[in-house]
Structure 1
Amino acid sequence: MLFLNFFLKFSLFFLLICLSSEAEARLLPFLSQDTYRVRIEGEMAPDIKNLLLAVSETYALKDRPIATPEMLRRRAANDIAPMTRALRSEGFYKSEISSEMRTRGEIPEIIFHVKTGPAYLINEILIISEDTEPSVQHLPKPKDLNLVPGTRARAPEILKGVDLLKNFFRERGTATPEVTLKTPVVRHSQKTVDLHYTYKSEPISLFGDLSVEGTRRVKPLYVENRIPWRKGELFRASHLNRFRSQLMQDGLFAIVDIHHPPLPDEDLFLPVHVNLIERSPRTIKAGVFHEPDTGTGIKVDWEHRNLRGMGERLNQSFTFAERKKESKTEYRIPDFMDKRQSLRLSGWVGEEESQAYKSEEGAFGARIFRQLCPLWSASTGVQYRLSRTTQQDETKTFGLISFPQELIRDQRNSILNPTKGMRVFWRVEPLRDTLDTDVWFLKLATGMSVHFPLIAEEKLIFSMRGSLGSIIGESNLSVPADERFYAGGGGSIRGYSYKSIGPEEKGTVVGGRSMVETGGELRWRMENNFGLVAFLDGGQVFTSSELQLEDEFYWGAGLGLRYYTDFAPFRLDVAFPLNRRSQDDSFQIYISIGQAF
């Protein structure tokens, strides 16, 4: 009896092993795989295909093994509904989607067969007021919503129209407009979509009193001087954005929170409340650097951004490198005689050595900067610089007094990482030597940089720049060597040594009285905050004041790597001289913060 029980248990155990082995053999093609493939078949634009993959759970989980073919088929079937909704959001209301699983190869494959069908177009756009008496002088039109009849009815653009319509009224006196998008009317027979927006833009608001909280070291007057509106002025949301930007730009505050109640008081005044959190006013920075222009060195920078409570900024910096040593002090006084103006007092001493010359200098100056309007700014000032330069074993001393003037138009969206917009400058600086009153000259310069996004989301940017310069009034060698034009280096023609391009005498670069430079970059920002750049720089320096454009240009080309941070991109460029001379290295490496231009 004991032997019989043992035999039955052994037989049952053996049977279970056989059954499980057979089941495992059937599931082995799935259990042994690290992944499966997903493919979409059908005629459609790449962005539509990417959208379908983005909403597909089958694609998102393709790196996770699945137990049975039935579970994989079910996962794919569940994707059809979200894919259909995604196509509807892109204006395809008669799509057909089916899924298929193939297991002939070593790795299972899911194929989605997609027919998008015809694109439905926007037909009619209605914008209707629910106010009893519309009080907006200019009623919104479809173009204010960036919607055009006859274009594809894309849900993201249709929904964005709600925000654009709110912004339209927030720029015209309504602090909290009510905007509603009714259910779009889809006409399948005509393959069109009718859109219906309603709005309520009452009541109109006027800017009221301003209250500020959170100022401790910063005086309230500093905040008040940056208010871009007057009490009683019609409410405009752009004034709030401009106010926030002006409070943040000097680095005095970590947080600027501007808010207001949804409705004005009975007199139509809308109070504005500002909550501020101040930053520490002091910063000290130190770093080690290496660049072809100046060699290996260290730099220490100390700054106080709020010396007397009104945003006065004192900066002291020291640079000690192989070919450059400098100590510089700058004091900036904002709101100087006018809230649109600032005064900057500066002084520095240092020495510099390049292939062209060696110089020692000390200088001080004062400049007034004025913001003429959001895009235009100007500056004027006076400067005195005492310098001693050595070139071709000849040393000269100059005491130059100058009056620099500059006009700038800047519509870039960022200073350190622009992706669109343009910057243009014009600079005029008359100079006179106080040690030799017969020496005077006029230095002129102008330049422009432009940035174009080539694809959506500003992932691919084409940037180009150009600059011109001319010196009038003295012969070439009568102009101080460190005031003449040179080219080459990280901020000029990459691939050539710093100030190594220009007219030569006895094998030494002596600089010139006019110059031209140009450059272009193709910037591709990838995932994970990395980016690649291809660039081409070119230019030439001439002895005379007039440009000699028939002369051969020097060209440099190369590739760059960018790592993007919230502050600015870190830049690493490798450049090669295309017109290489015997004294030129085969390549140059540049490391810096911010884009080249």
Structure 2
Amino acid sequence: MPQVEPIIEDEEFQKAIPPIGAEDDPELDRPLESIAEFERRQAAKERQEGEDAAVPVAGGTPVPALADGDTAEAIGDAPISDSELAAPLPPLDSFNVEPVQFAESEPDRDDVKIRYKVEVNGLVVADESTDIDLADLFHDLSALYDGDGEAANGAMIRARLSADAELMQRILASEGYYDAVVDTRIDRSGRERGDPLKAVVDVTPGVRYKFSEITIKADPTVPPRLIDDNFPLKVGEPIVAERVQGAEAAIALKLPQEGYPFAKVEQRDILLDGATGEGAYTLPVEIGPRARFGGFETTGDLAFDAEHVAVLSRFERGDLYDSRMVDDLRQAMVASGLFSTVAVEPQRTGESAGDDTEYVTMMVTQQAGPPRTLAASAGYGTGEGIRLEGSWMHRNLFPPEGALIVRGVAGTQEQGLGVTFRRSNAGRRDKTFELVAEATRSDYNAFEALTGRVGVRWSYDSTPLWQKRWTYAYGAELIATSEDDYDFTRGARNRDFYTIFGLTGQIGMDRTDSLLDPTKGFRITALVQPEGSMRGHFSPYARVRLDASGYYPVTDNIVLAGRVRVGSIMGAARERLAPSRRFYAGGGGSVRGFGYQQLGPKDPNLDPIGGRSLNEAAVEARYRFGNFGVVGFVDAGQVYRGSTPTFSDMRFGAGIGARYYTNFGPMRIDVATPINRQPGEARISVYVSIGQAF
């Protein structure tokens, strides 16, 4: 072994070691003293230190010692006598006070930012089955991108990089890349040139795992392939989390629709094989008993009983259970407006319904809500003026669903008050019974009227919840009205009293895609009103009207809409008809560009007198962007003295409108002008209302 030179000599090392033996320090060999002796020695030492606490200074005046044993420094160069200490302080005004000059504070550096840009490498990947680009998803969720290229310091950039690395791992795993490697770094190479830092995310996706086996553990169903036919995952496709969750949701949704109300999808298991890049998927499903609808029970704070619940349902006892019908029943109860909360759930009964099924009872849990409602609306139309309408309603004053409605109208040209009793879902879902009594005063250019009316009506109507293909209505009404009319033989307006009894029948067909804002399809409605008028003697006649409208989507945002209306009054001369029962045209719901009721025959004062027939048409181009829309339109129409519309002398109006779409329908403002304007006609007409024009 080679000789190693020592760092220091032994003699020098021994001298550097402190003495530790008894021969060097006799105190090490002394026996330990008792605690009492130690305390006495410490007390004596403290007394000695107290005597030495005052230190004399020049002049013989002692200066107290400081707590750490140092003496206090004398103030000034000369000693201070007791008389000087006792002397009064000089007055404040004798001091020469100079303002204190503060140093400028260090500039605020809160606005200092580090600029950076994001670079993602390797995120676009491809295999033989599919190409994916997840850059947009990463961009939407990234903390780096959310920072808009600025950070307070480098630590913040590193924190965002770390968060985005975890995000990238989750995104790739959701697409089947379970072995992905994500590295992050900060590239400062461009700092010398003043370029931003680079926050770099390097991605190595690795192998995309695929299904090697799909096993669904479930009892046999009816039909036998109910689960398989509605489960979209296939062997060989990538393991994508969104598709897996969607497939499981499809089963959980489909089974209750096909008679299995208690089906449950259990926790999945996916066994991954890193060597092959495959996964074996297993899904347990508990299907439960197959069931049919039985009876109803209800509990809670009731708005109505189980018998009326059965009226709202669209299924009968013995029908195969279908969760869509249950959802429809719950929505119908919510639509009644009588509940703050309502739930509909199946309960097992154990009662056999045959065919290996059992009856389930529908348990309806109710929590009645406030039954009263105040509502108001407003509108304006050229010729109609301002119209304000308000109502008070108690929706369940006469259970079940017997409402009392008090309605008032206050407008520049119409005022009225009415009371309505309405029974909704009267013996059948969406069938309504109404009993109405109202009094109105109308003051238009065509006529001035004081009218009282009572009426009864049964109807089967479409609702936003259940839009019907076929609807109908029928009823009767009794009208007593005092109205003025122009007498051409006398050349003046006369007031007459009319008593009118009439029947109403209406049928409609609807093939549109929406009740409130249709974009495709068509509607047709026919109205027939046989009436008799008493004015000296009885005059029977019939009012007939046909309305049709159609809608065609040109693009996703543009809809072409059109409508036509034809009407006729047969059986009585115009002079025998009360002015309010004649046909008129013009206004926001008729031919825009003209004042309310301004088309058709006129008296010498150019006031409309109405007619016995009419025809109208309209075309609209509706463009919607978000919650707003723009409408261009052309309307046409005319009213005729005879009972048959001749489609001659048509008047046209054109304009543009704005729409604001709400959850209860669009609000609209239309501005129109008449084409080939005649003397006395307004140049511009404005209409404000709720809902599309048609």
After TM superposition, is the score higher than 0.5? Answer: yes
The match for 2:71 is: none
Q: Is the 8 A contact 2:672 2:684 kept in 1?
A: yes
SS at match of 1:82: helix
**Which of 78, 82, 89 is matched with 2:167 structurally?**
82
Q: Is the 8 A contact 2:303 2:366 kept in 1?
A: no
Q: Which amino acid aligns with 1:164?
A: A
Alignment of 1:218-257 (within 5 A): 218-257=304-343
Q: Deviations over 1:454-494 (max 9, x none)?
A: 66xxxx68474524232152689466543444444443455
The match for 2:530 is: 431
1:290 is displaced (CA, Å) by 5.3
The match for 1:469 is: 566
**Which of 409, 415, 437 is matched with 1:347 structurally?**
437
CA distance in 2, matches of 1:503, 1:154: 72
Q: Which amino acid aligns with 2:422?
A: R
Q: Which amino acid aligns with 1:54?
A: D
Q: Is the 8 A contact 1:221 1:310 kept in 2?
A: no
Alignment of 1:91-102 (within 5 A): none
The match for 1:282 is: 372
- Worse-superposed segment, 91-100 or 462-471: 91-100
SS at match of 1:79: helix
Q: Which amino acid aligns with 2:529?
A: P
Q: Which amino acid aligns with 1:134?
A: T
Q: Deviations over 1:108-127 (max 9, x none)?
A: 6979999999xx9x99997x
When residues 198 and 329 of structure 1 are mapped into structure 2, their CA distance, relative to the original with a 3 A threshold, is: same
Alignment of 1:567-582 (within 5 A): 568=664, 571=667, 573-577=669-673, 579=675, 581=677
The match for 2:589 is: 491
The match for 1:407 is: 507
1:380 is displaced (CA, Å) by 1.4
CA distance in 2, matches of 1:226, 1:524: 37
1:178 is displaced (CA, Å) by 3.3
When residues 279 and 70 of structure 1 are mapped into structure 2, their CA distance, relative to the original with a 3 A threshold, is: closer
The match for 2:362 is: 272
1:367 is displaced (CA, Å) by 1.4
The match for 2:221 is: 134
When residues 361 and 195 of structure 1 are mapped into structure 2, their CA distance, relative to the original with a 3 A threshold, is: farther
When residues 371 and 338 of structure 1 are mapped into structure 2, their CA distance, relative to the original with a 3 A threshold, is: same
- Worse-superposed segment, 87-96 or 476-485: 87-96
The match for 2:655 is: 556
CA distance in 1, matches of 2:115, 2:601: 64
Q: Which amino acid aligns with 2:506?
A: E
The match for 1:332 is: 422
CA distance in 2, matches of 1:505, 1:408: 36
Q: Which amino acid aligns with 2:167?
A: P
CA distance in 1, matches of 2:199, 2:434: 66
SS at match of 1:233: coil
CA distance in 2, matches of 1:554, 1:79: 60
Alignment of 1:375-394 (within 5 A): 375=468, 376-390=470-484, 394=493
Alignment of 1:441-460 (within 5 A): 441-448=542-549, 450=551
The match for 1:588 is: 686
Q: Does 1:311 align with 2:401?
A: yes
Q: Is the 8 A contact 2:552 2:560 kept in 1?
A: yes
The match for 1:206 is: 292
The match for 2:33 is: none
When residues 301 and 551 of structure 1 are mapped into structure 2, their CA distance, relative to the original with a 3 A threshold, is: closer
Q: Deviations over 1:118-148 (max 9, x none)?
A: xx9x99997x763443323673575x57899
CA distance in 1, matches of 2:257, 2:421: 38
The match for 1:363 is: 453
When residues 265 and 559 of structure 1 are mapped into structure 2, their CA distance, relative to the original with a 3 A threshold, is: same
1:170 is displaced (CA, Å) by 1.0
SS at match of 2:140: helix
When residues 37 and 366 of structure 1 are mapped into structure 2, their CA distance, relative to the original with a 3 A threshold, is: farther
Q: Which residues of structure 1 form unaligned runs of 5+?
A: 1-16, 526-530
CA distance in 1, matches of 2:236, 2:693: 42
When residues 534 and 303 of structure 1 are mapped into structure 2, their CA distance, relative to the original with a 3 A threshold, is: same
SS at match of 1:342: strand
1:276 is displaced (CA, Å) by 0.8
When residues 559 and 212 of structure 1 are mapped into structure 2, their CA distance, relative to the original with a 3 A threshold, is: same
SS at match of 2:477: strand
**Which of 366, 390, 396 is matched with 1:300 structurally?**
390
When residues 49 and 331 of structure 1 are mapped into structure 2, their CA distance, relative to the original with a 3 A threshold, is: farther
- Worse-superposed segment, 215-224 or 97-106: 97-106
The match for 2:253 is: 167
Q: Which residues of structure 2 form unaligned runs of 5+?
A: 1-102, 126-130, 353-357, 487-491
Q: Is the 8 A contact 2:583 2:639 kept in 1?
A: no
1:349 is displaced (CA, Å) by 2.0
Root mean square deviation of aligned Cα? 5.3
The match for 2:59 is: none
1:502 is displaced (CA, Å) by 4.8
1:305 is displaced (CA, Å) by 1.5
Q: Is the 8 A contact 2:378 2:389 kept in 1?
A: yes
SS at match of 2:675: coil
CA distance in 1, matches of 2:616, 2:155: 73
CA distance in 2, matches of 1:394, 1:194: 91
CA distance in 1, matches of 2:651, 2:124: 51
TM-score (normalised: structure 1): 0.72
Q: Deviations over 1:26-77 (max 9, x none)?
A: xx7x9445998889999999x97754432122233439x5223564366257
CA distance in 1, matches of 2:151, 2:142: 16
When residues 440 and 465 of structure 1 are mapped into structure 2, their CA distance, relative to the original with a 3 A threshold, is: same
Q: Which amino acid aligns with 2:438?
A: W
The match for 1:12 is: none
CA distance in 1, matches of 2:484, 2:198: 75
The match for 1:14 is: none
Q: Which amino acid aligns with 2:505?
A: Q
1:555 is displaced (CA, Å) by 2.1
Q: Is the 8 A contact 1:55 1:83 kept in 2?
A: no
CA distance in 2, matches of 1:334, 1:282: 15
1:174 is displaced (CA, Å) by 0.2
1:185 is displaced (CA, Å) by 11
Q: Is the 8 A contact 1:281 1:305 kept in 2?
A: yes
CA distance in 1, matches of 2:120, 2:414: 60
When residues 513 and 451 of structure 1 are mapped into structure 2, their CA distance, relative to the original with a 3 A threshold, is: closer
Q: Is the 8 A contact 2:382 2:596 kept in 1?
A: yes
Q: Deviations over 1:353-400 (max 9, x none)?
A: 345444443222211123699623322112233445545564565444
- Worse-superposed segment, 165-174 or 442-451: 442-451
CA distance in 1, matches of 2:256, 2:527: 42
When residues 149 and 166 of structure 1 are mapped into structure 2, their CA distance, relative to the original with a 3 A threshold, is: same
Q: Which amino acid aligns with 1:82?
A: L
1:303 is displaced (CA, Å) by 1.5
The match for 1:7 is: none
How many residues of Structure 1 are paired with residues of Structure 2 in the alignment?
A: 551
Computing the radius of gyration from Cα coordinates, the structure with the larger value is 2
Q: Is the 8 A contact 1:92 1:116 kept in 2?
A: no
When residues 570 and 139 of structure 1 are mapped into structure 2, their CA distance, relative to the original with a 3 A threshold, is: closer
1:175 is displaced (CA, Å) by 0.7
The match for 1:539 is: 635
Q: Which amino acid aligns with 2:686?
A: Q
1:500 is displaced (CA, Å) by 3.7
1:205 is displaced (CA, Å) by 1.8
CA distance in 2, matches of 1:212, 1:48: 50
Q: Which amino acid aligns with 1:172?
A: E
Q: Is the 8 A contact 2:257 2:324 kept in 1?
A: yes
SS at match of 1:257: strand
The match for 1:176 is: 262
1:336 is displaced (CA, Å) by 4.3
